[in-house]
A and B are shown apart, each in its own frame.
Chain A
């Protein structure tokens, strides 16, 4: 008897991308429970470093498999193939960024996001099951198409966070300066400009020996990135460091040197960088929005309705108030213990109806 087969359909497959990282984990987990599994993605949207670990979308043939998982966050050719697949279908729902945020910055992406939002109902109705990355995402799916969605928190590997730090980056961001760190796609829904304004107040009125490290590819939304650089330049903030996409060792060094991880994002399905910051013992300061409270799960600092000065004062407290910092780090460590106890193999076996091996 041949082994069961469950493949995955993605709109893109990239290094440093949380969805791609999860797809790799799903594939490895499925293989470990005795299921054949491949990742299918459009070749033009695959990082060169991942060239050997995916199949092109045009090789996807739904009759040859028992099930398919579609990671849905934007409309793409993968969605069309998913809707036409003649096998069991599951949607992995990562949420859809607000299209309006991208108007003017990238009209094509804005259109894809609008299509994704409009097509969510069809995708959900076609699926045998919807796995939402957070309760926030699940509630959104239920509001569109009823009670199909179950929560499967975003999967990730702690190993991905543990690269040896790059000595040059350690040296560059060392010294006695306080480092604020943000990592993520440089996209308009992340509201990085609010961080820059808050940092301007912090740097000029609270601590001139400080840096804001911004880690994330400019390719996500180049016009938005240009706006951020223009803002930092015009405010004369030489210590705002636009690092772009950085490899694991540099990322490790930045986290090691960070005094606080800050995000002012207004829309997140989950926000994996929060978890990475917690795993590296960096206090997290995040807006109480989207799926971020679930990613934080009772650890770190959340804020709402904070202006730039208030955000600066909060970051200052998180970095310098030792009592507050100690309380936060203890809660974050407990949060990490809960995450380490997770068993992805069993979760996938239960959701797909397969017996878990071992």
Chain B
């Protein structure tokens, strides 16, 4: 990494930032980013049809809510800790309600993902049929009289 501060190369600031970057560690985030690399791969789509194909594939892989992944964080200090405790208790008390909502939400999301997937497949099949028709030798006559 190179850094310029106020237009001048600044190795000290670059070194300090590189040192801080090396010092931080979050294996769970590393895994998470690696697992979601397919999202960034959307940048590699060659055209809009390819983008749609990749996007639908992403939907197919995961279109659901998982309340177990929800984390609660608190503010600094004693008041923050107390607030966090209260929210954790409330979250546990409402656990079954969260799961009920997630179950129904997931049912809807999965239906939608399935419908979009089917529509996409159907559209592709229709396009294939049209392309085949157009590529027939008599296509120039509108497919008539051959």
Query: Which residues does A use to contact B, with CB under 8 Å?
Result: 103-107, 188, 193, 197, 200-201, 204-206, 208-209, 223, 226-227, 230-231, 234-236, 288, 293, 296-307, 309-310, 312-314, 316-317, 324, 327-328, 331
Contacts and interface: CB of A to CB of B under 8 A. Distances in A.
A104 B21 contact: no
Nearest to A305: B1
B2 interface: yes
A105 B45 contact: yes
B86 to A, nearest CB: 18
Interface string B24-43: 11100100110010011011
Contacts of B51: 104-105, 223
Nearest to A106: B48
Nearest to B24: A205
Contacts of A300: 6
Nearest to A330: B6
Contact of A235 (B20, B21, B33): B33
Contact of B17 (A208, A298, A310): A310
A285 B62 CA distance: 35
A230 B21 contact: no
Report, nearest first, the 9 A-B pairs whose CB atoms are least far apart: A104-B45, A298-B7, A309-B21, A313-B20, A205-B24, A313-B17, A104-B51, A331-B6, A302-B4
Contact of A209 (B6, B33, B75): B75
B6 to A, nearest CB: 4
B18 interface: yes
Contacts of B19: 313
B1 A303 contact: yes
B97 interface: no
Size category of the binding interface on chain B: 35 or more
A230 B58 contact: yes
B41 to A, nearest CB: 10
Contacts of A227: 39-40, 42-43
A312 B6 contact: no
Given A206-B24, A235-B36, A188 B43 contact: yes
Contacts of A298: 6-7
Contact of A204 (B5, B21, B29, B36): B29
Interface string B7-22: 1000001001111111
A107 B3 CA distance: 35
B46 A104 contact: yes
B18 to A, nearest CB: 6
A327 B6 contact: yes
Secondary structure dominating the interface of A = helix
Interface string B57-88: 01000100000010101011000000000000
Contacts of B44: 104
5 contacts: A234-B32, A302-B3, A313-B21, A324-B5, A331-B7
A205 B26 CA distance: 7
B8 to A, nearest CB: 8
Contacts of A310: 1, 17-18, 21
A298 B47 CA distance: 39
B13 A193 contact: no
A120 B26 CA distance: 48
A103 B17 CA distance: 34
B48 A223 contact: yes
A188 B47 CA distance: 14
Contacts of A316: 20
A300 B5 CA distance: 6
B128 interface: no
Interface string B72-108: 0101100000000000000000000000000000000
A99 to B, nearest CB: 12
Contacts of A231: 36, 39-40
A271 to B, nearest CB: 15
B97 to A, nearest CB: 20
B43 to A, nearest CB: 7
Contacts of B32: 234-236
A105 B51 CA distance: 7
B122 interface: no
B50 interface: yes
Contacts of B18: 310, 313
A192 to B, nearest CB: 11
Nearest to A229: B39
Contacts of B69: 236
A309 B5 contact: no
Nearest to A299: B6
B17 A200 contact: no
Contacts of B76: 209
B58 A304 contact: no
